[in-house]
Each structure stands twice: as structure tokens, then as C-alpha cells.
Copies of this chain bind each other. A is one copy, B any other.
Amino acid sequence: MSRYGKRDDLIVHESEPFNAETGLTSLGTPLTDTDAFYVRGHGAIPETDPESWRLQVAGLVERELSLSFGTLREAFRERTVTATLQCAGNRRAGLMAVRDIPGEAPWGPGATGTATWTGVALAEVLALARPLETASDVGFEGADLSPETEPTERFGGSIPLDKASRPEVLLAWAMNGERLTPVHGAPVRVVVPGYIGARSVKWLERIELRSEPWAGHFQHVAYRLVPADEKPGPGVGMPLGLVALNSDLLSPRDGETVQAGPVEARGYAFAGGDRYVARVDVSIDGGVSWSQAELLEDLGRWAWRHWRITLSLAPGEHEILVRAWDSSAATQPDDEAGLWNPKGYVNNARPRIRVRAVHASS
């Protein structure tokens, strides 16, 4: 066991604050085990006693609320949603191979995972607080202080009220059927399916109804797609929110040597927003022709989709290229270099790996 009850095969990018991604093997199951699930944090993990924890609901509401953990569980209907979380920095390593991104972690394809989340619908809590007509955004503030900001700031972010009113957005206290662990936001975190992980605020303490998006660092400065030739800063670039269509190849691995003949390729695809994965194609001729992968277990509209395909590889060098399609019939962009951006977010280029197929040594 590594720290925080995590498996040893996590790839730790930073130990304090703890930032670690799921190992390739552990990404291969439809639901990601909790002890293998990625962790992205911006400060020390706050330890909160559920007995003394309170959730404040404030801002543009008719009635401010202060709810205990007990009230949250008693007053509202318990719901479970299967949802993929994906960090906006997932697959950043591919962009860093194009050009360095100093100060950011080289996340591979494991800054994502899928779990069942149990809690109550944020919408029901908001209904009790009665948002004013002027409210358009719902902000979340955690208990974690981030030394990345000057002055020190609690982590936070917001989503549109329209999304917050949908039944899939949860205030969750359980993950994969067990109470949230401290590293995943205990006692209560937000889970915003279809949105970048940064909006699923952990160690939630305050909900603020607002007339504009969150003005804090982690939405107004960070987690924005900045054009390649601009410098990150307050309000620069487009705010991230919905996850963009993405996919990756988990097996075989880049640079692997495989036996020539039938080779199974596997991976995941995630449509983001409220879209679903409609198709995944694989090419071994540089994108001239494509074969359709088999889509595996369907975990519902908020989850990734695993896929597999059997390729026939002659002895020699091969490039395996993947593209996913979402339910709007949009597919991924091809040019990873053209997606480079100063903070290294949203690398959703078509995954591309090289393998070497050799004759069986029998």
C-alpha cells in the first residue's frame, strides 16, 4: 500500500500535495477501484470530523442554509450515479513531448477513472434554499487551502445553475459503495458528471449562488485553455467546464514488442458533457482505413466506455491510431502539436502508439 490507502502501482507526480494517477492496468476495468483511483489536489488534505461538519448554502438565495451531515442524509433522497471524473490535465504528457510545460505534472492517461457515487442531488438542496432570479452559477468551496495561490486561497469553482439543477449532480459521501476516504473529499464532495474534475470540489463546506462564474484562482486563472502564444493570467483564455471528447489506448503500450498475428488492443473513450460515445475506430495504416472497435460494458451516459479490437499485425513496426466519436458525430482532432497550450490542458488528440510485432519464438 502506498499513501492514503492507495495501491503501489499509482504513478505519483507529487507527494505534497498528493497527486497521483491510476496505473495502466488498473484503468482497464469498467469501474475503477477506489484504491487505484487518481488523486488531484492543490493543498494538504483537510481532516474533518463529520460530527462537526456543516454545509453552508449562501449567496443569491431566499433562504440561507446550514446543514449537518445528519440532516443532509435524512432530509433528501439518496441517489447513486456512475460517473467518470477526468482531470483537465489528463494526457498532458503528450503535449509536454511537443514542448515543455514547466511547473505542471506530466499526467498520462490515468488522470481519469469511473466510480459509483452516492449522495443527494444538489438540485434538491438548492430547491430548499430557493435561488433568486438573479442566480446563474453555483459555486463550491472546499476546506482545502492551496499554497499555489497568493494570498492562500481555498479551492473552489462553479457550474451553471442549469447544470446544477440536473439530477445527476451530487453531493456525495460514498464512492464505490463505501464512505469517502479523506483523500477523495470526506465527508462530502461534489460530483459533476461530464465536467472537468476540478468542478467536483472535494471537502465541500460552502455552496454559493452567484450571478457570475467563480472568481477564484482555480477558475479565473487556472483551468482555462490559453492560446499557445498567450501568457496565463486572470481571465485569459477560455474557461474549461465540459470535458471534451477523449480516448486513449491502454494496451498494447507504446514501444511494446508483441507477437505478430492477432493482437488485442484495448482502451477507453469518454464523450464528456451529456454526450455518449457512439463509435471508436482504430487504424493501422495511418488513418487511411479504419476498423470499428467493439464497445464494452455500457455504464450509462455519465461514464466512459471501454473498447477492444483484434488487430492483425504482420511482423515489423506498426503505428496504432485511435479516434472516438461522440453522439453528435464529432470525432477527435488529429494534431497533438496544434493542441499545445501553456497550461497543458485538454489533450484530446487521437491517441497514437508504436509497437513492434515479431514472429513467435517457438
Contact = CB atoms under 8 A, between A and B. Distances in A.
Interface residues of A, number: 37
A133 interface: no
A22 interface: no
A155 interface: no
A238 interface: yes
B278 A328 contact: no
A275 B346 CA distance: 17
Interface string A72-116: 000000000000000000000000000000000000000000000
A331 interface: yes
Contact of A329 (B228, B244, B275, B335): B244
A327 interface: yes
A232 interface: no
Interface string A233-255: 00000101111110000000000
Given A333-B333, A338-B287, A328 B229 contact: no
A278 B240 CA distance: 10
B227 A272 contact: no
Contact of A327 (B242, B289, B323): B242
Contacts of A245: 328, 330
A273 interface: yes
A240 B333 contact: no
Interface string A292-332: 10000000000000000000000000000001010111111
A13 interface: no
B292 A325 contact: no
A345 interface: yes
A177 to B, nearest CB: 28
B329 A238 contact: yes
Given A229-B289, A290-B228, A243 B334 contact: no
B325 A348 contact: no
A353 to B, nearest CB: 18
A125 interface: no
B275 A242 contact: yes
A206 interface: no
A7 interface: no
Nearest to A224: B329
A279 interface: yes
A20 interface: no
Nearest to A244: B330
A190 interface: no
Nearest to A346: B329
Interface string A322-362: 01010111111111001100000110100000000000000
Contacts of A338: 287, 290, 323, 334
A345 B278 CA distance: 15
Given A227-B279, A229-B289, A323-B333, 16 more contacts: A225-B329, A227-B281, A227-B290, A238-B279, A238-B327, A242-B329, A243-B328, A244-B328, A244-B329, A245-B328, A272-B328, A290-B338, A329-B345, A329-B346, A330-B346, A331-B333
Interface of A: 225, 227-229, 238, 240-245, 272-273, 275, 278-279, 281, 287, 289-290, 292, 323, 325, 327-335, 338-339, 345-346, 348
18 contacts: A225-B278, A227-B279, A228-B290, A229-B289, A238-B278, A238-B327, A238-B329, A241-B328, A242-B275, A242-B327, A242-B328, A242-B329, A244-B329, A290-B338, A323-B333, A331-B333, A333-B334, A334-B338
